[in-house]
Structure 1
Amino acid sequence: MRVTLPLKMTTRTYRDAINSLNSLQSNYANIMAIRESGDRRNQMNIWEMQEWSKRIGYNVSDFNKLNVIHITGTKGKGSTAAFTSSILRQYNDKLPKIGLYTSPHLKTVRERIRINGEPISEDKFTKYFFEVWNKLGNTKSNLEKFPHMVDGSKPGYFKYLTLLSFHAFMQEGCDACVYEVGVGGEFDSTNIIEKPLVCGVTLLGIDHTFMLGETIAEIAWNKGGIFKEGSPAYTVMGQPEAGLRVLEERATERSTKLTQVPTFKALKNVKLGIAGEFQRGNASLAVVLAAKALEKLNVIDKTIAVEEDAHIPSEALKGLELTRWEGRCQTIERNGSNWYIDGAHTKDSIIAASGWFKNIVKSSFNKKILLFNQQSRDANALINYLHNVVSPEVKFDHVIFTTNVTWKSGTYSPDLVSMNTSKDDVEKLKIQEALRKEWNRIDKHRPEVHVTPTIEEAVSLIESLRQDSLDIFVTGSLHLVGGLLVVFDK
């Protein structure tokens, strides 16, 4: 007699989770339509995040248990978040689990949600991903209040990951969590946190102007939106005057105080885990943010004095030294050549990264190669900033402009699929050809300028140029950097 066994339910995999997540990306046409409409983010963004949270089983006040350190800014907020997390991890006897939420990711989306410095596992990501997915699918919202939340709809890509991070950190029982704002602050999906322990603002600059405004003052207003009553706020020294003034006004509005953090003298000779002299300001801010959080959690008796000569505890110094943050002023030795990698993509960050590269290689006799892409911002302006910094001390022998497509088959690594850029522009190499033309205009030394359709082909080209050691500067986009690291790992 034949016995028919019941079919097993198909187990959903990490790849299934990534495919589902990628379906939440806004495509290029939708993004352009929103831009043309003049619609910017508004308070509905926060109300919707609060509603999504309720639908997966949380009141927003529940997230206060995560003891959040909230960080915004234009340049260096990811590095500051990484420094802060690393310092907190030095107190693991009192705080066994430290969460870290950042964006974007480099190689795998799991990098955005870390516990004790490590991306959550594929199994946990998949488990928590589909718990959120299913709860959203099985609940409904009042369409009069939330007309966009029709049955079966999900939050967009970044909102979903933010929601997922809250769920994962709550389920894992994190003792404290460092949250890097995605864009801006006032209407950012991370800003549903009601009572952060402390807030930080890194250096302000012009970026994401469609959503944040055209001026430093407008951008500062958005960034200062994370300030909360009862949560002390800190920022780095050297902010643009107009931006600092608005940040101070925003702090007053929110019944808190904004304090400027100097670069501590005690960090002068510390070998930071993230290279670059400009990182000392970010590291100083991280020290104060971590110390204030630790004080409020009764882990230390008193916070650090906010003055240049302040004594910095050994735990904080160790945390700064042990910080690891790929793609930011990172050096990789590979096949006898030196790869200098930084995902800088704004004016200020390109200038800082280019200065870092120049200072390292200006005395080197190796051939110099630039590998660059920026698909959505003003790429021509960025390469002009870069050239102005490195020239005349550093002369490139070869300049390569590529897309962010990972493989020469024309495909992306699954975690790096991007639908928010023009497919036509990418396939026709429009931006890359424009960059080639611009570089030929600005560089009188006439290096060989190449265009490649994929990152894998750019790496193959560089390998074919190698006779002796090379110094390769990779910059312009974190998506480029992430794809490069994936190609290295293949």
Structure 2
Amino acid sequence: MASRLHKSKSEDYELAIEKLNTLQSNFSLLKLARKQKKANPEAKLKDMRNFLQRCDITKQQADSLPIIHVSGTQGKGSTCAMIESILRARGLRTGFFSSPHLIEVRERIRLDGEPLSFSAFTHHFWSCYNRLIKTMDEHNPQMPFYFAFLTLMSLDVFISERPDVCIIEVGIGGEYDCTNIFTNPRVCGVTSLGYDHTDILGESLDEIAWNKAGIFKSGTPCYVQSCSPSVHQVFLEKAKERGVKELYLIPALSPYGLPRIPKLSLQGEFQLKNAALAVQIAKRFISQREKRQVQMGSMRLLEECTLSLDDITSEVEEGLQNTKWPGRAQVIEKSVPNWKRVVFYLDGAHTPQALQCAVEWFIQARRSQERTSTCKKGIVLNLTGNRDHTLFLEKIRDLEVEHVFFCPNIAYSKPNTAPDTASAIASSEQQLIRCKELQREWNELTGVDLSQSVSNFSEVYESLSGSEEGREYHILVTGSLYLVSAALQFLS
């Protein structure tokens, strides 16, 4: 597509981002929408099919795409990124739809590993937006919300570009997620489960598993990461309900069925199970593409699957070594006045289990980064959504840090906020109130006042610059992935 050759921003692109941001919901509307979805969750997919029709995207076109569909609570983005990198190393043209973005919204729709160009994004945005506006009437009074619109737009891109594979990361849940509009995905996967979005998905892991397994489709092989027996039973019941004949478990123990531990570009031991799932899914997609038959015999439900040395090919090695997924176990060194070295460790962790993994990675990674025994340690943290703060704060209370910064998901003062990362969900004032609440809870939990609320990430840098001179400072930036986004905007 010729428009993909142009890489500079334009007024049309800036206007497209402004229009896209109008599709965001503020906090009160989002709360109301969640209540409505909980009361009638099927309506979301019904609306999505209507939006597809209004965008002139037929069911046949959507189902003709070679889809890999991945849900889960933790690691689904990393797993999708590894799958994409492995298949690209194999020589396939790849499409990849993910969320959220960190710097620019173009990151959510990728072709051949690269974010959609400014001109291609602009072209497909206006193509979808104008069709939706044109078809608004008393029978179709709605416009899709932000994520739903980008899902539609990704399909418009993939139908136009026809990549060899389209990797689709679920937004929230699975059963009623906007992405769950395909009836014929090639392979499905479910990553680790945890407690998140419980107001929508349910209070128990079994309920959450039921939602995540909602992407299972008849005739589609499914791969899931091992969990509890009760969750396995939910997966099994959903598989039988949907006519799934192949449901495979990634082994629970390290190294998760990998015959040896390949070098991963994504840090953290927890990435091993994501890599095992990614290799299995990529392997199965390739075998289908090359029309290699899998010997079925009887149905394979909840069968544990492992990989052989032959499965870790040079393409798999290359894909795992070259996977790029910023903001997840990422290390950035930044020059700060008065300090010889300041090293930031970035990892979005939106569940207590994920935060525990981030803390363990920070401890491990810091050992290889420290150049002096007298270095200081700190944390920058923010939590969003309806989450139990105490469960998160407990994960970091024993980390022995010198300072904790509670920071909104904002890089600079408001006038410098990039339109791609503008949020209507909560104002800067509301976010700062939340951070002060976190600071108060932290001080009550620890009994020590070594924390500070800041209004944006640049103030963390300024605070370090104004502090006493030292040799090294190692800082974990974690919690909300949107906070990691703000940190990347400042540190890049």
* TM-score for both structures, normalised by structure 1: 0.88
Q: Distance in 2 between matches of 1:357 and 1:396?
A: 12
Distance 1:140 1:33 in 2: 22
Q: Which residue matches 2:236?
A: 248
Matched, 1:171 2:167: no
Matches within 5 A, 1:221-240: 221-237=210-226, 239-240=227-228
* Cα deviation code 1:178-233 (max 9, x no counterpart): 00000011111111011000100001111111111111111111111100011000
Residue in structure 1 matched with residue 417 of structure 2 by the alignment:
412
Q: Which position in structure 2 is the counterpart of 1:258?
A: 247
Q: Which residue of 1 aligns with 2:454?
A: 452
Structure 1 unmatched ranges of 5 or more: 1-10, 144-148
Q: Are the structure 2 counterparts of residues 346 and 41 from structure 1 closer, same or farther at C-alpha, using a change threshold of 3 Å? A: farther
Q: 2:379 aligns with which of 367, 370, 376?
A: 370
Is the contact made by 2:13 and 2:122 (CA closer than 8 Å) also made in structure 1? yes
Per-residue Cα deviation, 1:123-157 (whole angstroms, up to 9, x for no partner): 110111001011112225782xxxxx31xx42100
Residue 394 of structure 2 is aligned to residue 385 of structure 1: yes
1:479 aligns with 2:471: no
Contact 1:61/1:194, CA 8 A, preserved across alignment: no
Contact 1:375-1:403 within 8 A present in 2 as well: no
The amino acid that maps onto 1:136 is L
The answer to whether the 8 A contact 1:376-1:421 is kept is no
**CA distance 1:486–1:61, shift in 2 (3 Å):** same
- Percentage identity across aligned positions? 36
CA contact (8 A) 1:406 1:413 kept: no
1:365-406 alpha-carbon deviations (Å, 9 max, x no partner): 311011111132426225423225xx2xx4111111111122
Structure 1 residues 178 and 135: CA distance shift in structure 2, 3 A: same
Matched residue SS, 1:214: coil
- For residue 333 of structure 1, what is the aligned residue in structure 2? 333
Cα deviation, residue 432, structure 1:
1.4
Give deviations 1:11-54, integer Å, cap 9, x for gaps: 85211111000000011121233456684451121122112112
Aligned residue identity for 1:463: S
Alignment equivalent of 1:296, drawn from 285, 288, 294: 288
Query: Do 2:174 and 2:215's aligned partners in 1 also have CA atoms closer than 8 Å?
Result: yes
Which is worse superposed, 399-408 or 446-455? 446-455
d(CA) in 1 for partners of 2:64 and 2:326?
Answer: 29
Summarize the Cα distance change of 1:302–1:135 in structure 2 as closer, same or farther, 3 Å threshold. Answer: same
- Letter in structure 1 aligned against 2:134: N
1:280 equivalenced with 2:279 (yes/no): no
Q: Does structure 1 residue 433 correspond to structure 2 residue 436?
A: yes
Alignment correspondent of 2:83: 84
Cα 1:282/1:380, change in 2 over 3 Å: same
CA distance in 1, matches of 2:278, 2:103: 25
Structure 1 residue 114 corresponds to structure 2 residue 110: yes
Number of corresponding residues = 460
Equivalent residue, structure 1, for 2:262? 270
Where do 1:396-407 residues align within 5 Å?
396-407=401-412
**1:267/1:348 CA distance change after superposition, 3 Å:** farther
Residues 202 and 265 of structure 1, relative CA distance in 2, 3 Å threshold: closer
Distance 2:60 2:250 in 1: 30
Q: Tell me the amino acid that sits aligned with residue 445 of structure 2.
A: I
Corresponding letter in the other structure for 1:349: A
Q: Which amino acid aligns with 2:480?
A: S
Q: Aligned pair in 2 of structure 1 residues 375, 447: CA closer, same or farther (>3 Å)?
A: same
> C-alpha separation between the residues in 1 aligned to 2:40 and 2:111?
30
The structural deviation recorded for 1:295 is 1.1
**Which deviates further from its counterpart, 352-361 or 39-48?**
39-48
Q: TM-score, normalised by structure 2?
A: 0.88
Change (3 A) 1:207 1:409: closer
Which of 348, 353, 371 lines up with 2:353 in the alignment? Answer: 348
Is 2:317 the partner of 1:317?
Answer: yes
Q: Cα 1:35–1:166, aligned 2, differ >3 Å: closer, same or farther?
A: closer
5+ residue gaps, structure 2? 1-9, 296-303, 336-340
CA 1:258–1:299: 2 relative to 1, 3 Å: closer
Tell me the distance in 2 between the aligned counterparts of 1:285 and 1:324: 17
Per the alignment, residue 97 of structure 2 pairs with 101
Match for 1:291: what amino acid?
Answer: K
For residues 219 and 483 of structure 1, the distance between their equivalents in structure 2, rounded to whole angstroms, comes to: 29
Partner of 2:6: none
| CA distance 1:413–1:360, shift in 2 (3 Å) | same
Determine the C-alpha separation between the residues in 2 that align with 1:36 and 1:124: 36
What corresponds to 1:421 in structure 2? 426
SS of the residue corresponding to residue 399 of structure 1 reads strand
CA distance in 2: counterparts of 1:478 and 1:40, whole angstroms: 28
